[in-house]
Chains A and B, each alone.
Chain A
Amino acid sequence: MGKGAFEGIKVADFTWAGVGPLIVKYLADNGATAVRLESMKRPDWVRISGPYKDGKPGIDRSCYWAYLNPNRLSMALNLAHPKGREIAKQFISWADVVAENYTVGTMEKWGLGYEEVKKIKPDIIMLRTSNQGQTGPHATHPGFGIQLVGLVGFPQITGWPDREPSPMPVAYTDLIAPRFGAAALIAALDYREKTGKGQLLDLSQLEAALNFMTPVVLDYVVNGRESMRAGNQCPSAAPHGVYRCKGDDRWCAIAIFTDKEWKAFCTVLENPPWTQARQFSTFLSRKANEEELDKLIEEWTVNFTPEEVMERMQQKGVAAGVVKNAADIYQDPQLKMRNYLWELNHREMGPVTHMGQAFVLSRTPAEGRKAAPCLGEHTEYVCREILGMSDEEFVALYNEGVLE
């Protein structure tokens, strides 16, 4: 294995749930040493949610937690204990980066707000991320990304015009915000090396996710228009939709923007008479008769698997794609080329799948160096190797319930 880009960078990782761990993942997968400070009494919420390996629940058996957390060390530390907080401070003085995404005020409660952290390590970079940022009247309001998607407005524009919103059933903002946090954090690390200056990075997940809504916002600001749910329609394409194919709940997306693509599309269908009809001869007429058009297309697509539809269309330069479900993604030939999942040997679960990184760096690719840790798997190791603790100190702290 090569050296990652962040070889030698040290992270005191106070993160949990989604956004924080995904930000640290960019550093850890690229060679940083990240020590996750975890609580046995109040474990990361994802650690106690499924799916569990072999269906057996257990704090070290969540496959989703593992999926998100490769390349981390885990230390079990009781931050409710004053001595636990002293140990946390030792980690901070060791670290280049402190990352946290607790509900605003939690780190302060432990005496680990930015001002304190800066006293311990003046050039620290502290990445703090929360639903709505560290300041402002709603900063301390608790919540997860699954609820924050509402505040950003995604459900308002997702679904059918005659139905209730049908939003993505995941904490969508959790999967947007990490990129923004990581880009700023890495730039700040470089800046620190050049100037010696650390700083506080305050990432509001609401503000980051609004980058994925900007045209909708501007359309309101400039034109007074409130975008609503529009199914799969697109103002500049017809046909543009998702068509039923052969099989159970199998679909293919097709999108046609130009006359050239329309001609190629008709060729793939072997030019049935309706494709030559006047009501479909121009973009405007296709748009005006879109419902009828969609029905006719579906009469053709139901005879083929979505893979067949995609291949026939793409070979002729028509944009089409299988609507892939989790099983399809799991065996996707294109993603496999990109080493998108890492199978790593977990201490408790054995071989288990971890998520890779979505870009390929030609010289310093991200790598699955080690599996996600069991809770506290490295407590003894980091106490000795990083904090230089003696056996006696370690045992004493363990017996006092400081180390867990």
Chain B
Amino acid sequence: MNQTNKESLLGNTRALDLTDDKGFLCGKILGELGCDVIKIEPPGGDPARRIGPFHHDTPHPEKSLLWLAYNTSKRSITLSIESKDGMEIFRRLVKTADFIIESFPPGRMDNMGLGYPELSRIDPRIILTSITPFGQNGPYRDYKAPDIVGVALGGLLYMTGDPDRPPVRIGLPQAYLHAAAEAAVGTMIAYYHRERIGEGQWVDVSIQHSLISTLANFIPIWEQRGIISQRVGSYRTGLTAGARQRQVWRCKDGYVCFGILAGTVPRSNRSMVEWMDSEGMADEYLKEMNWDNFDMFTLTQEIQDRIEEPISRFFLKHTKEELYEEAIRRRIMLYPVSTPQDLMENPQLKSRDFWVEVEYPHLKDTIKTPGAFVKASETPCQIKYPAPCIGEHNQEIYQGELSFSEEELVFFKQAGVI
């Protein structure tokens, strides 16, 4: 966390982050771009602090690794915005803010008297970003969507898994992350408009809708060819007229990703065959393939299987590290399937100083954490602060900024406002 003297992209902005885990990543992105993100937690802490895994497997609201993962570069205050006093305080904070990010069920902000019309009366320049399972309107509006339901209704779930078993989700919940990242872009577009025209607006983000781009070409395939793309295990079918192509291959000590491709990139296939040949493992069929004329659209399963058979034997002879190193040397489009340990040792990430050491005094630990998501030459982005403890910045903000007295703070605490 190198505090630099350079300016940051969003250094003059503030976000009030009311989200739960549906929206954490949005504020994190804004924070890395320099925005002053204030995470507003209900007294007692955000409910998502109960989500594991936990530091040293000890469940505790200050030890959730999900919290630590997605709330860096934010400050935390506690505030019950549902209480009368809490709402007054919140309204004062709105006047200091540019963005409000929330992930309450549709209508809840309105019921609290904090819907977009009311917020824009407080400040017409305010940008409200709402992240909900399905958006603010429509037949599914009030449906619940934890991750597995989100990826089901968004279409991502149907594509993954083995054909003889049910569809299977990605092992780490993804649906909320897609929505929160979309929310960051929507917020930025609204901000850009506001800085030129002067008016704020309401950004309505749907978790289901955020997953549509992950379907890649499956909608055009359905529309044009009437084919529902099926889950195919370690394979893919989306680039051919129907033949399945292996995507994840077993090697000596794990897995690698490699695919036979056509079009403007035949060199990778050719280099692969040359390497296999140098070890006496390319058969005549492979050596005689004319990659320049290789057409995936007319590819049959028989041809694809003949290509893959010797390759899968070759990979089993090598470790993923050997395969990756030689692939880099020969410019073959092959990548290892990383374990977390591989990631920590990845020389590329090291050379770009990607990992940052984040200090957590309350955990008596310094935790190596993914760094800022982009390298910006003039306005370095960074993990500004560790993920905060519950209400860690109450004093700083309530006394320092809003000038509440010690007595008032004591009163608010007793009344359950903060």
- Give the docked Cα–Cα distance between A230 and B28 (Å): 28
Asked if A94 is an interface residue, CB under 8 A from chain B, the answer is no
B159 contacts A by Cβ under 8 Å: yes
Chain B's nearest CB lies how many Å from the CB of A296?
16
Among the listed stretches A81-89, A267-275, A281-289, A334-342, which one makes contact with chain B, having 4 or more residues with CB under 8 Å of it?
A: A334-342
Q: State the CA gap A187–B165 with chains docked (Å).
A: 44
Q: A188: CB under 8 A from chain B? A: yes
Which residue in chain A gives the minimum CB-CB distance to B183? A359
Segment 326-367 of A: residues with Cβ below 8 Å from B: 326-330, 332-335, 337-338, 340-341, 353, 355, 358-364
The 9 A-B pairs with the shortest beta carbon distances in the complex, nearest first, are A157-B171, A150-B257, A220-B340, A359-B186, A321-B149, A169-B236, A179-B181, A214-B69, A199-B378
Q: Are A51 and B225 in contact (CB under 8 A)?
A: yes
Selected from B65, B134, B259, the residue in CB contact (under 8 A) with A219 is B65
Q: Scan A185-210; emit 1 where CB is below 8 A from any B CB, else 0.
A: 01111110111011111111011101
- Please, which residues of chain A bring their CB within 8 A of the CB of B60? none
Q: List 14 A-B contacts (CB under 8 A).
A: A50-B297, A138-B348, A143-B335, A153-B337, A153-B340, A165-B248, A169-B232, A217-B340, A219-B65, A242-B167, A358-B206, A358-B210, A359-B209, A361-B203
* Residue on B nearest A216 in the bound complex, by CB: B172
CA distance A172 to B161 in the complex (A): 15
Give the residues from 56 to 77 in chain B that come closer than 8 angstroms, CB to CB, to chain A: 56-57, 65-66, 68-70
Interface residues on A, range: 35 or more
Question: Roughly how many angstroms separate A310 CA and B155 CA in the complex, as a whole number?
Answer: 15
Nearest-neighbour CB distance to chain B for A256, whole angstroms, equals: 9
Looking at B86-94, B135-143, B389-397, B400-408, the stretch in contact with chain A turns out to be B135-143
Contacts of B177 in A (CB 8 A): 211-212
Q: How far is the CA of A167 from the CA of B238 in the complex (A)?
A: 14
The binding surface of chain B is classed by DSSP as mixed
Q: Contact: B152 with A138, CB < 8 Å? A: no
Determine if A180 and B139 form an interchain contact, defined as CB atoms under 8 angstroms apart.
no
Interface 1/0s, chain B 13-39, versus A by CB < 8 A?
Answer: 000000000000100111001000000
**Most chain B beta-carbon neighbours within 10 Å: one of A63, A147, A172, A329:** A147
The residue in chain A whose Cβ has the minimal distance to the Cβ of B179 is: A358
When the two chains form their complex, are residues B297 and A216 in contact, meaning their CB atoms are under 8 A apart?
A: no
In the bound complex, what is the Cα–Cα distance between A270 and B206 (angstroms)?
Answer: 32
* Nearest CB in chain B: distance from A141 CB, A: 5
Shortest CB-to-CB span from B8 to chain A, Å, is: 9
Complex contact A147–B135 (CB within 8 A): no
Instruction: Kindly state the separation between the CA atoms of A159 and B376 in the bound complex, as whole angstroms.
Output: 36
Say yes or no: B216 contacts A164, CB within 8 Å. no
Nearest-Cβ distance from residue A328 to partner chain B, whole angstroms:
8
With A135-B352, A323-B158 given, name 7 new contacts (CB 8 A): A26-B189, A54-B224, A133-B352, A164-B234, A166-B231, A214-B370, A361-B202
Residue numbers in B under 8 Å from A340 (CB-CB): 209, 212
Whether A223 and B352, one on each chain, are in contact in the complex, defined by CB atoms closer than 8 angstroms, is: no
* A218-B296 in contact given A184-B33, A226-B341 (Cβ < 8 Å): no
Q: How many A-B residue pairs have C-beta atoms within 8 angstroms? Tell me.
A: 522
Using an 8 Å CB-CB cutoff, how does the interface string of A158-170 with B read, 1 for contact, 0 for none? 1110011111111
Question: Which residues, 274 to 327 on A, are CB-close (under 8 Å) to B?
Answer: 310, 314, 317-327
Closest-by-CB residue of A relative to B234 is A164
Contact between A253 and B149 (Cβ–Cβ < 8 Å)? yes
Q: Which of A139, A167, A171 has the most CB of B within 10 A?
A: A167
| A257 beta carbon closer than 8 Å to chain B | yes
Are B368's CB and A221's CB within 8 A?
yes
CB of B220 within 8 A of chain A?
Answer: yes
Closest to A41 in B: B264
Partner of B212, one of A43, A55, A170, A329: A329
Instruction: Known A147-B333, A222-B56, A244-B166; judge A326-B228 contact (CB<8 A).
Output: yes
A158-B168, A207-B370 are contacts. A255–B158 as well, Cβ < 8 Å? Answer: no
A234 and B57 within 8 A (CB): no
Q: Are B116 and A362 in contact (CB under 8 A)?
A: yes
Report the minimum CB–CB distance from A77 to chain B (whole Å).
16
B191-199, B277-285, B300-308, B410-418: which lies at the A interface? B191-199
Report A-chain residues with C-beta under 8 Å of the C-beta of B190.
5, 361, 364
The reply to whether A213 and B172 contact each other, CB–CB distance below 8 Å, is yes
* Given A142-B268, A330-B222, A149 contacting B257 (CB threshold 8 A): yes
Give min CB distance, B350 to chain A, whole Å: 8
Taking the closest CB of chain B, its distance from the CB of A232, in whole angstroms, is: 6
Docked complex Cα distance between A255 and B144 (Å): 10
| B205 A242 Cβ-Cβ under 8 A | no
Known contacts A5-B192, A222-B56: does B222 contact A150 (CB below 8 Å)?
no
**Chain B neighbourhood of A203, CB < 8 A:** 373-375
Flag if B145 contacts A319 (CB, 8 Å). Answer: yes
Tell me how far the C-beta of A343 lies from the nearest C-beta in chain B, rounded to whole angstroms: 10
Cβ of A107 within 8 Å of any chain B Cβ, yes or no, is no
- The answer for the CA separation of A4 and B19 in the assembled complex, in Å, is 28
**Nearest Cβ distance between residue B186 and chain A, in whole angstroms?**
4
Contact A362 B202 (CB under 8 A): yes
**CA–CA, A152 and B338, complex, Å:** 6
- Measured between beta carbons, the chain A residues less than 8 angstroms from B224 are 50-55, 63
Asked if A334 and B340 sit within 8 Å, CB to CB, the answer is: no
Q: Can you name the residue of chain B whose Cβ is closest to the Cβ of A366?
A: B189
Query: Smallest Cβ distance from B396 to chain A, in angstroms?
Result: 25
Contact B344 A197 (CB under 8 A): no
Q: A151: CB under 8 A from chain B? A: yes
The answer for the CA separation of A193 and B68 in the assembled complex, in Å, is: 34
Task: Give 1 or 0 for each of B203-224: 1 = CB within 8 Å of chain A CB.
Answer: 1111011101111111111111
B347 surroundings in chain A (CB, below 8 A): 136-138
- In the complex the two chains form, is A204's CB within 8 Å of B138's CB? no
Name which residue of chain B comes closest to A165, CB basis. Answer: B248
* Cβ contact within 8 Å between B220 and A51: yes
Minimum C-beta distance from A117 to chain B (A) = 12
- B142: chain A residues at CB < 8 Å are 314
Q: Is the CB of B9 within 8 A of A232?
A: no
- CB neighbours (8 Å) of B185 from chain A are 26, 179, 182-183, 186, 359
Instruction: Tell me the nearest residue of chain A to B240, going by C-beta.
Output: A50
Give complex CA distance A56, B27 in Å: 46
Nearest residue (CB) in B for A337 is B138
Question: Is A225 in contact with B53, judged by CB distance below 8 angstroms?
Answer: yes
Interface residue? A227 (CB, 8 A) = yes
- Measured between beta carbons, the chain A residues less than 8 angstroms from B258 are 147
Q: How far is the CA of A53 from the CA of B220 in the complex (A)?
A: 9
Say yes or no for A64: interface residue by CB 8 A criterion.
yes
CB contact under 8 A between A220 and B341, given known A164-B233, A227-B171, A353-B223: yes
Interface centre among A174, A213, A254 (most CB of B within 10 A): A213
A240 within 8 A of B: yes
Residues in chain A near residue B193, CB distance under 8 A: 5, 361, 363-364
Instruction: Output the residue of A6, A156, A325 with the most chain B CB within 10 A.
Output: A325
Q: Which of B116, B222, B236, B328 contacts A146 (CB 8 A)?
A: B236
Residues of A with C-beta under 8 A to B165:
160
User: How many angstroms between the C-alpha atoms of A333 and B143 in the bound complex?
Assistant: 13
